[in-house]
Amino acid sequence: MQQTEPTAARTPDAVKVVKTHGLPAIPFCIATAESPGVAFVGMSDFAVHRIDLGADKPEASPIGEARHGSYVTGIVRVGGTIVSGGYDGALIWWDAGTGSVVRRVEGAHAKWIRRLALSPDGTRVASVADDMRTRLWDVATGGCVADWGDNDVKTQHGYPSMLYAVAFSPDGRFLATGSKTGLVLVRDAASGSIAGRLETPVMYTWDPKARNHSIGGIRSLAFSSDATLLAVGGMGKVGNIDHLEGALRIELFEWQAQSRRAEIEDTKYKGLVEALRFGPGDGWLVAAGGDNGGFVSAYATSDGRLLAQEKVGNHIHDILLAADGASLVAVGHQQISTVTL
């Protein structure tokens, strides 16, 4: 994917799938490479793969011999280093060029690592996991420099909770996390103190009567460039939680004012919102996810109105949005797609 400098703010008026290619396993996360048109992807075969997006038939190739012990669900790149995290609770530092393992931190978390986020200055990696801990890691040394545990380990109904989502604000001051029960905590990334607390209970999707379990949770978070807006993604109320058939749901907060600016529920394409990004200028944001099928939708941040949307292959787990906001790469169930906005 071409990385271009932001130009004048533009607003998407259409979502178009340019190309889609099959993958041999399920990709859960994607990060750019230093080389244009190349991406690194964490997949269900426990490996981190390199994909040349510019090839006629992009193929995923493991970057080295080493493997996680389970699905790879978080990945960031800092210069020539990749950091990956997985359901095995481990973090691995890789040399992006050779694919060799630079460092391996087993037991970085006691349970599944759900996502990683890179601080804008590239010095810290944040990890969230089902042990309900949020940890900061020194990219250079691999040391754990902060460990926060303000989320309940169990849901209010007595079941294991999960900490699905994490995002840094673009200025690096704040770190937001989102849980299964719909709790967003915004921290001062330096001190760890709680700077904001938001509730999105609809996203929990707890069904107390028919099926006696839940399927949702906060799956994605994104700050606007000035860090005043925080978008929270998940799924709306669902009648049959056997399937991801709830409306895609986004709640847009002026989080420091504890004010919900927009509540987006969209039923044309259903399921979980797995990824959120603000477009250049913060006038719109893009959401991706799905049920069995995938979707990409763009909404105005002023009032949450739909700007454009399209079905995009299978359920999408992560996206890379180009700096100019004109295109994105989506990794979905055994697929990778290039999409223009």
Partner 1 sequence: MHPDHTGRGTTVHPQGSGVAQPGSGISRRRLLAMSAAGVASPLVADMSAIRLLRSPAFAAELRKQERRVILLWLAGGASQFETWDPKPGVKTGGPFRAIPTDVPGIHISELLPGLAQRMRHTAVIRSLNTKIADHGTAAELMECGRRNDPSVRFPDIGAIVARELGRLESTVPDYVSLYTSTEGRRKGTSGFLGARYSPMFLSESMTPPNILRLENLADVDHHDRAALRDALARRFTAESRSLAVDSHLSAYQRVQGMMASADLFDIGREPESVRARYGSTQFGEQCLIARRLVEAGVPFVKVARAWWDSHGQNFETHQELCADLDHCMSALLDDLRARGLLEHTLVITLGEFGRTPGINASLGRDHFASAWSCSLSGAGVRGGVAYGKTDEEGHTVVEGEASAGDLFATILASLGIDPEHEYMLGSRPVPLADFGSEPITEVLA
Nearest distance from C-beta of residue 307 to partner 1, angstroms: 25
The residue type found at 64 is G
The residue type found at 41 is V
Please return the burial class of 310, using the count of CB atoms within 10 Å of its CB with bins 0-12, 13-18 and 19+.
middle
Please return the burial class of 298, using the count of CB atoms within 10 Å of its CB with bins 0-12, 13-18 and 19+.
buried
Q: Which is nearer to partner 1, 318 or 324 (CB)?
A: 318
Is residue 57 at the binding interface for partner 1, with CB under 8 A as the rule? no
Of the listed pieces 47-55, 99-107, 299-307, 326-334, which binds partner 1 according to CB under 8 A? 326-334
Is residue 46 at the binding interface for partner 1, with CB under 8 A as the rule? yes
Is residue 243 at the binding interface for partner 1, with CB under 8 A as the rule? yes
Is residue 40 at the binding interface for partner 1, with CB under 8 A as the rule? no
Each residue 173-202 as x (binds partner 1 by CB under 8 A) or -, in order, gives ------------------------------
Q: Which is nearer to partner 1, 119 or 220 (CB)?
A: 220
Burial 61-78 (b: 16+ CB within 10 A, else e): eebbebbbeebbbbbbbb
Binding partner 1 (rule: CB under 8 A), the pick from 87, 93, 137, 284 is: 87
Please return the burial class of 3, using the count of CB atoms within 10 Å of its CB with bins 0-12, 13-18 and 19+.
exposed
Nearest distance from C-beta of residue 258 to partner 1, angstroms: 29
Nearest distance from C-beta of residue 242 to partner 1, angstroms: 5
Helix (H, G, I), strand (E, B) or coil at 130: coil
Each residue 263-302 as x (binds partner 1 by CB under 8 A) or -, in order, gives --------x------------------xxxx---------
In this structure, what token pair is assigned to residue 87? 């359901």
Is residue 315 at the binding interface for partner 1, with CB under 8 A as the rule? yes
| 316 Cβ neighbours under 8 A, 6+ residues apart | 274, 275, 288, 289, 290, 294, 295, 296, 330, 331, 332
Q: Which is nearer to partner 1, 12 or 332 (CB)?
A: 332
- Give dist(CA 322, CA 329) in Å, integer: 8
- Give dist(CA 195, CA 62) in Å, integer: 40
The residue type found at 290 is G
User: In the window 110-169, what residues touch partner 1 (CB under 8 A)?
Assistant: 112, 130, 157-160, 162
Q: Which is nearer to partner 1, 70 or 327 (CB)?
A: 70
Binding partner 1 (rule: CB under 8 A), the pick from 1, 15, 25, 163 is: 25
Nearest distance from C-beta of residue 211 to partner 1, angstroms: 4
Given a contact cutoff of 8 angstroms between Cβ atoms, the answer to whether 164 and 181 are in contact is no
- Give dist(CA 214, CA 218) in Å, integer: 12
Q: Using CB under 8 A, list all residues that contact partner 1.
A: 25-26, 44-46, 69-71, 87-88, 112, 130, 157-160, 162, 209-215, 217, 241-245, 271, 290-293, 314-315, 332-334
